[in-house]
Amino acid sequence: DEADIGETLNRIKTHKGVVGIIVLTQDGVVLKSTLDDETASSYGLLVHDLVRRSRLGIRDFDPSNDLSFLRIRTKKHEIMVAPDRDYLLIVIQNPNS
Amino acid sequence: DHEEKHIVPDVTLEQKQEIMFSEDFRKFFDKASRVIERALAEDDRGIDIFVDYKGENLESLE
């Protein structure tokens, strides 16, 4: 149930450098997050767009292929995304912490 | 059109709960959280690809 989801998110959050976790639908709707609503929805929009573009590019290159994990390192943070057909699990990390 | 602005649909709290109770979502969440936790465990081992061996800051190579 929902308590299990919360428990798993809390466990993920205890890892070093984890700033926030977001569960997103493929439409970009924030289902659950450990961040405030505004931060969660702006990260949600960013990741939704990145995943959509990556997926399009991968499939353009090879239609039999698909995206299975996305990891982006920037100067300020690292974003990890585990995507499936309908939902995305997103972890935002601060690797310098 | 790749550049079309995405509109996030309005979803009520009840609808979100319903999604999270679905079998489909459970399957996704179990698998995705396992993958994420494995990736984080790797990070916790302290392996950082940007680690500074030579006193150069590899993250600002521009």
Model confidence pLDDT, tens digit, residues A26-47: 999 999 999 999 999 999 999 9
A15, A28, A86: residue with CB nearest B8: A28
Chain A contacts of B17, Cβ < 8 Å?
2
- The residue count of chain A comes to 97
- Strand pairing partners for A80? A71, A91
- A45-94 confidence digits (pLDDT tens): 999 999 999 999 999 999 999 999 999 999 899 999 999 999 999 999 98
Cβ–Cβ < 8 Å for A86, B24: yes
Q: Does ipTM come in above 0.95? A: no
The predicted model scores a pTM of 0.86
